[in-house]
Structures are given as structure tokens and as C-alpha cells.
């Protein structure tokens, strides 16, 4: 059986990492990927997964849409694709168009985030699709916003492969630690969604209370220049360090005291799961997705979305309370072991593929 994954990019995001893991670790299928490219394309080549470069599927220009459709249809035809697994709303739209001409091709769509608007397009795109939601919040969004019946939605929680952790140590972080600093971090695309600006504002307050508390920002994105200017204007150049994209995320989490996730919205983020896998805890916004993984006061701390003053208070409190931190870390480790088993994640997707997307996943 041949599977084509269509993603907007194969860049640094959580959805892209999920696609990479599915291709790498589900055996018994020929899997290929079509996207606009990104950092994971090299890693895909290293594990023998073929990648097809396509135009940015988010672009709605009619000429680009027509060109993209014919490229994807050609990929489906020449690679005898049995299942198209889409990871973006426009990818689902293209899959639906292809099904009109290739009626035997099955369509699996994974909703990696919550979305609003374009209801007619989504209902058309998902008419013949098996729908996967990465969490209960995403499932509720699909039902409420796009009128997808509950019986059609499979919930498969994201998970991360921890089997290849190395002895890697980030030199910049090690230097900060060796200078007797207390180092925390935030991870994610430098975008409006991830609330990096909120984190920076909180760190201004934190730096005045705990000068030896430093923060690293892991990730890249469209707001990089703006966020770096913000750090400069707040005179935080010796408090916050931008490390860009990093491939050794789990190892870096292991170096840090705890993680902060100030997102404005999420699907089911990988960052808390990655954090818990390394026995660390997290402070995050109390929004759908985050609060499915993080239980306030049990395995992490939840704060109001957008409230940088509360975020600053919680960073300071946790940094000063080692007993509480250890308690949260112990619970975080148990949460990972009991709820986010990587084998179960792979097995549930494999069951969907085995039945051509027609089975019910428990």
C-alpha cells in the first residue's frame, strides 16, 4: 500500500514532526511526502523517504492552485497512491479534488490545530475523508465549526519518539549554567500563535527580581526580527538568548530547569509532551490543547492567556520553590508514561492505514 502525505511545509512545526515520525516508524508501506520543503527534507532523505517539492498550498492564486493540483495528481498517478494523508486544510481540499478523478484513493485528514472560518470549503474537503483529531479540543472544534459528526472523528494524541536521545549538550546553554545561572526555555515557531512577545514581557519583570535567571528561545519564524528588537528595547540582551532552530530538542529540554509555553492557541502541542518525556515541568497558558496535557498544580502550571504579569509571578515562584518543582516533575514523568506512549500513537495510525481509513480506533 502506498501513502502520500501532503503538508504545507516540512519545517520546524509540531505537525511536520508528526509527519516525519509516521513516515519513519510505520512499517509495511511505501510512504512519500509532498510539501513546500523545510528542515525535515534532509532527515527524510536520510531515512529513505522520498519528498516532492510543491508550491505553497496556502496560496490561493488560481494559477498556483491549478498548477499544484496537476502536480499532486501526477504524483498520485505515477506512484500508485492508495491513501492520501493530509495535514493542512488546503491539502485536504486538493485530496478531495483528486478523489473525483481517482475514486479508489482514500483520504485521511489529521487536524493538528483549531481553526475557524471557511466552513463550506472544509465540509467539501472532508466529505469522503477519515478525520483524525490530535486532541479533544480539536475534536470539539471540528464538530462545532465544521459540523463533522462525532462518529467520524478519531482522536489520536500526539507522541514523541524518545528512543534516539544522545549525549548532546548545547554549548550556549552549558556556558550559562557554568556561570551559575538558572536557565529556563521556551520552544516554538516565532509567530503570533506561540506568544513569544508575552514571554519576553514576563522576563522583563523576572529579570528585575532574579538577575541570574536566564532564558533561551528555541525556534525560528516570521517574527524573529521584531522579537529581537523587543528584547533590545527592554534591555534584555543579557537575559534572553535566541538559539534559532535546534534539532536536539529533547536533549536541550533536559538541560533546562523548566519550560514556558505562552501560546495564544494550540491543537495538542508537542512541547508539553516532549517536556514531560524528559522529566521536566512546564508553565503554559490555560487554553484548549495545553490544558488537555497539563493539569494545573499536578504536572505543570497554567496561567491566563496573555497575562505576562501572572506568567512572571509563576516563573519567579517556581524558580524559588524547588520542592514544588520536584513534585511537578515527578507527576509530569508519570503523565508521559501513562498517556503519551509512542508505540500506541504509531499503532493507532497503522490501524487506520491497514483498513484503508475505515476502522474505528480505540
Residue range 36-60: mean pLDDT, rounded: 94
CATH class of 2-159+341-354: alpha beta
Mean pLDDT on 314-320: 98
pLDDT at 17: 93
Confidence of residue 12 (pLDDT cuts 50, 70, 90): confident
pLDDT of residue 362 exceeding 80, the answer is: no
CATH class, 171-339 region:
alpha beta
**Mean pLDDT taken over the chain:** 95
Q: What is the pTM of this model?
A: 0.88
Q: Do domains 2-159+341-354 and 171-339 have the same CATH topology?
A: yes
pLDDT band at 351 (very low <50, low <70, confident <90, very high): very high
* Percent of all residues in the chain with a pLDDT value above 90, rounded to a whole number: 93
pLDDT tens string 217-261 = 999 999 999 999 999 999 999 999 999 999 899 999 999 999 999
Domain residue extents for the chain:
2-159+341-354, 171-339
Question: What are the two backbone dihedrals, phi and then psi, of residue 269, each rounded to the nearest 5 degrees?
Answer: -65, 145
- The pLDDT of 284-300, averaged and rounded, is 96
* 360 — pLDDT class (breaks 50, 70, 90): very low
Q: What is the pLDDT of residues 323-342, one digit of tens each?
A: 999 999 999 999 999 999 99
What pLDDT score does 267 carry? Answer: 87
**Confidence (pLDDT) at 342:** 95
Span 163-220, pLDDT tens digits: 989 999 999 999 999 999 999 999 999 999 999 999 999 999 999 999 999 999 999 9
Banded model confidence at residue 357, pLDDT cuts 50, 70, 90: low
pLDDT-based confidence at residue 361 (cuts at 50, 70, 90): very low
Q: Nearest to residue 110, comparing CAs of 131, 127, 83, 81?
A: 131
Amino acid at each position: 500500500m502506498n501513502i502520500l502525505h501532503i503538508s504545507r511545509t516540512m519545517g520546524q512545526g509540531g505537525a511536520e514532526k508528526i509527519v516525519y515520525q509516521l513516515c519513519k516508524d510505520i512499517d509495511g508501506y511505501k510512504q512519500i511526502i509532498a510539501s513546500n520543503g523545510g528542515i525535515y527534507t534532509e532527515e527524510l532523505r536520510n531515512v529513505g523517504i522520498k519528498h516532492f517539492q510543491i508550491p505553497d498550498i496556502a496560496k490561493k492564486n488560481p494559477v498556483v492552485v491549478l498548477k499544484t493540483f496537476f502536480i499532486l495528481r501526477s504524483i498520485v498517478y505515477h506512484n500508485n497512491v492508495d491513501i492520501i494523508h493530509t495535514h493542512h486544510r488546503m491539502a485536504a481540499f486538493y485530496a478531495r479534488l483528486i478523489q473525483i478523478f481517482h475514486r479508489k484513493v482514500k483520504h485521511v485528514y489529521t487536524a493538528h490545530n483549531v481553526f475557524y472560518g471557511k466552513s463550506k470549503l472544509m465540509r467539501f474537503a472532508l466529505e469522503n475523508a477519515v478525520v483524525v483529531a490530535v486532541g479533544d479540543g480539536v475534536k470539539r472544534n471540528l464538530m462545532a465549526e465544521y459540523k463533522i459528526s462525532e462518529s467520524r472523528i478519531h482522536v489520536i494524541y500526539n507522541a514523541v519518539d524518545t528512543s534516539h536521545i544522545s549525549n548532546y549538550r548545547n554549548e550556549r546553554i552549558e556556558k550559562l549554567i557554568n556561570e551559575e545561572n538558572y536557565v529556563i526555555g521556551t520552544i516554538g515557531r516565532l509567530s503570533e500563535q506561540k506568544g513569544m512577545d508575552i514571554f519576553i514581557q514576563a522576563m522583563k519583570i523576572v529579570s528585575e527580581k532574579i538577575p541570574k535567571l536566564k532564558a533561551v528561545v528555541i525556534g525560528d519564524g516570521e517574527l524573529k526580527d521584531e522579537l529581537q528588537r523587543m528584547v533590545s528595547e527592554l534591555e534584555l540582551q543579557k537575559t534572553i538568548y535566541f538559539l534559532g532552530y535546534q534539532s536536539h530538542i529533547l536533549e536541550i529540554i533536559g538541560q533546562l530547569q523548566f519550560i514556558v509555553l505562552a501560546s495564544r492557541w494550540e491543537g495538542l502541542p508537542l512541547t508539553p509532551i516532549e517536556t514531560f518525556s524528559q522529566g521536566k515541568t512546564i508553565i503554559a497558558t490555560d487554553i484548549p490543547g495545553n490544558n488537555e496535557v497539563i493539569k494545573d498544580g499536578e504536572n505543570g502550571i497554567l496561567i491566563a492567556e496573555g497575562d505576562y504579569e501572572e506568567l512572571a509571578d509563576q516563573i519567579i515562584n517556581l524558580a524559588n520553590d524547588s520542592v514544588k518543582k520536584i513534585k511537578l516533575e515527578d507527576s509530569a514523568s508519570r503523565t508521559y508514561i501513562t498517556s503519551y506512549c509512542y508505540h500506541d500513537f504509531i499503532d493507532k495510525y497503522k490501524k487506520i492505514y491497514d483498513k484503508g481509513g475505515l476502522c474505528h480506533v480505540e
